[in-house]
A = this chain, B = another copy of it.
Amino acid sequence: MNYPERVLIKEVGPRDGLQNEKVFLPTQTKIDWINQLSKTGLSYIEITSFVNPKWIPALSDCYEVAKGITREPGVTYAALVPNMKGLEKALLADVDEVAVFMSASDTHNKKNINKSIEETFPVLEETIREAKASGKKVRGYLSTVFGCPYEGHVSPEQAEKVTTKLLEMGVYEVSLGDTIGVGNPRQVESNLNQWTASIPKENLALHFHNTRGMALANTLVGMSAGITTIDGSLGGLGGCPYAKGASGNLATDDLIHMLSEMGIDSGIDLGSLVNAGHFIETSLEKPLISHQMEIARAQKAEQTS
């Protein structure tokens, strides 16, 4: 199998990881955490979401977080925006770039943003156009690409159609999300081969959830298919509301560890990342579920015993 020499990892923990947390993490804690992440070698951090706080109360301090962090040179600080209203606030906070989102399956899109897929396009089109007019690059997230909690199987054609439309509307990249962690390696390989026949690989990123344990195997296949941008959430932070108790996002630290062992460069220092993980798990008062964090806790316990 062929793998890229270098992979760009986009850290989504402060947004995708924290958005489902029931406790409100103090704004200063979020800022401190992002500042730590900025020193790990990460070059892209999605720091918050400018979504109506009614929907995601955990991130209601999005503006304060974006204004409060220390911006390191070479690091892109991005934020999620659902529409024009979110974009305006994000522009006020002067984030480096924004990301819009929708689903590949109509039912999930309706449940998540109360609109059909067709109704969503014009909302995002305006948002993308205005963001670009303000000099901001726009990323696109596409959810339920490999399966939907309501509709089950999602065809590669359906995901390709929405991906292509998002790219036509002006996003520079679509992050293909396995929202409920049901994609399997054979499906990922087959779908990517189909998609990259018409979509340049450079315009695709992968966003896996580890709900059923297949995230690293799927990432491996994705890299072998030529995708070099992978989303991760430190420590696997971020649940999946459709599979209670099940683990969430692909853990950035487990991903970096595997890449490093395989000789694939990510530019990120695992030790610094684990320290940042320890900071946030202490703040949240719950252990992060990734393997690297588990091993780090065990080693720490052994040293102090």
Contact = CB atoms under 8 A, between A and B. Distances in A.
Interface of A: 1, 3, 182, 184-187, 189, 210-214, 216-217, 219-221, 224, 243-247, 251, 254, 257-258, 261-263, 290-292, 294-295, 297-299, 301-302
Contacts of A297: 245
Number of copies: 2
A213 B212 contact: no
A3 B258 contact: no
Contacts of A213: 216, 251, 254, 257-258, 290-292
A291 B212 contact: yes
Nearest to A185: B220
20 contacts: A1-B224, A182-B261, A187-B261, A211-B291, A211-B295, A212-B254, A212-B292, A212-B295, A213-B290, A213-B292, A216-B216, A216-B217, A217-B219, A217-B220, A217-B258, A220-B220, A245-B294, A245-B297, A246-B294, A247-B291
Contacts of A246: 291, 294-295, 298
B244 A298 contact: yes
B244 A302 contact: yes
A190 to B, nearest CB: 10
